[in-house]
Each structure stands twice: as C-alpha cells, then as structure tokens.
Amino acid sequence: MVDFLCQTYGFVPFMEPNRLNPYLDDFYADMGQWAFHSQISFLSHKFRLHMELMAEPSTVVQDRTIYEDAEIFARYLHERGLMADRDWATYCHLYEAMQQALAPPDLLLVLRCSVRGLRRRIKQRGRPNERAIPLKYLKELNTLYEGWFGRWDLSPVLEINTERLDYISDLVHRLEVQRALEPFLE
C-alpha cells in the first residue's frame, strides 16, 4: 500500500527498518532470548524515523508505526512470557517518554486481511527469516491489532478490506481505494 500511495499521491515513503535490526534473525530463531533486544532496536529506529517525518515538509506515509511496535509486538512478547517484566517495564518507560515528543499521525490506515491472506503475502514477500513464523503467532498478533484499532484515538481511522483487493493491477479496485482516501486528503 505504501508504494501505491506514494505513486498515486506523491507521498514520501518511510519504510519499516527490518534490515537495520541486527537482532531480527536471532529473534526469529529464539524469541525469548532476543525479544527485548529486537524490540528496543525497532523502537529506537522508529523513533528516529518518526522524528524525521515530523520535520519532513511533504506528506509522508509509514508502513508500520512506533505505536504498533509497542502496542502489538512488544506487548505480545511480554504477554507470552518472552519478555521479562523488568524488560517490559523498561521498554514501556522508554516508549512513554518517546510518545511525549511525537506528533500523532494525521490518519491511521487499517488494511484488513485474514490470517490466511497474511500467510499468503508473507510467502510471496519471500523474506527468509519469516518463513517459519508460526500460525498461532500471526493469529495472536491479529487479535492484538483488533484490540489496538478499537482503542486508537489519536487520529481518524480509515479501514480498507484488502483480502481480495488488487489495487495495483485492477483499475476498479484502485479507484475504490482512491475514493475511500480522498476525504482524508483534502
């Protein structure tokens, strides 16, 4: 969706820094050992990105936010016992301090898709470190996302069901997405 928005509207992309996380491969191999390290790495990179985008004169779009890192991924790891209480508390204190410095996004775009659809997209993306992601993990993340969407109050929310939507190669689907976005872009 980020590429589509950038090509269609001229937005500047801010992509998730997966390649910059030196703990990611280790994390997928042993989540309990590397959860805190990996999440702190994501949090620090996302904070820097968010600060950069606040200074960016043009309209920007992020593929994943600092809010998701804390509210979904780090929370999941703590709730599943993969991040110790002490590490979770440290993470939360840092996240809360960072939040005070951040301007919220103008819009939260929620792309709805089933877990089955997510698995298909992960396979198509072809990242080696994502091949063995357990189905249970994706389902539990999906549940956390649903709860987070329900609590989100920092900006307007636009939900688009992308399960069978091919906005890249199907003109009708592309126009459908554009019609949904236009009220938020004026």
Active-site residue list: 63
Q: Cα separation of 149 and 68, whole Å?
A: 10
Q: 22 is written with which tokens? A: 């030196």
Is residue 12 within 8 A of residue 60, CB to CB? The reply is: yes
Query: Going by DSSP bridges, is the β-strand pair 108-112/157-161 parallel, antiparallel, or unpaired?
Result: parallel
Is residue 91 within 8 A of residue 36, CB to CB? The reply is: yes
Question: What is the per-residue DSSP string for 64-101?
Answer: S-HHHIIIIIIHHHHHTTSS-HHHHHHHHHHHHHHHHH
